Amino acid sequence: MNFLLELLISALIVLGGIFALVGSIGLVKLPDLLTRLHAPTKATTLGVGGALVASMLFFFGIEGTLSIHEVLISVFLFLTAPITAHFIAKAHLHEHVELREDLPPTGREQGWSTFDGLPEAEHKDHV
């Protein structure tokens, strides 16, 4: 049992390291900001998540203690990474207005950017 647990922990650490490496390479190699956002928010988050799960398994399975630190770090990481990427993408779209033309339609009057004002008809109803 101990060997299998150590093997699982080692596999999670290696898998987490591979995801972190791929995310870091993607951050450097991808051409623009909007595509570069995917690398740290997806792959690197999974990489750190793998290391955190390995740490949780180590402390619970081998040391016999339950560590809440890794759970709190995981919750914080999985909540803040997508929100931060969303804010960075919105700020980038505000800065580079020409990129908005290439985006698919939203299905509503407003565009992708949060600072797009209401259409004139709706604006008069709200005032």
What distance in Å separates the CA atoms of residue 119 and residue 104, rounded to the nearest whole number?
A: 19
Contacts of 84 (CB under 8 A, 6+ apart): 41
- Which pLDDT belongs to residue 72? 92
The model carries a pTM of 0.72
Show the tokens assigned to 117.
């004002």
Chain centroid to CA 41:
3
Per-residue pLDDT of the chain (127 residues; tens, 9 = 90+): 689 999 999 999 999 999 999 988 998 999 988 888 888 888 878 888 899 999 999 999 888 888 888 889 988 988 888 888 888 888 888 888 787 777 777 777 766 665 555 556 554 555 5
DSSP 66: -
Beta carbons of 57 and 6 less than 8 angstroms apart: no
Show the tokens assigned to 75.
């919750």
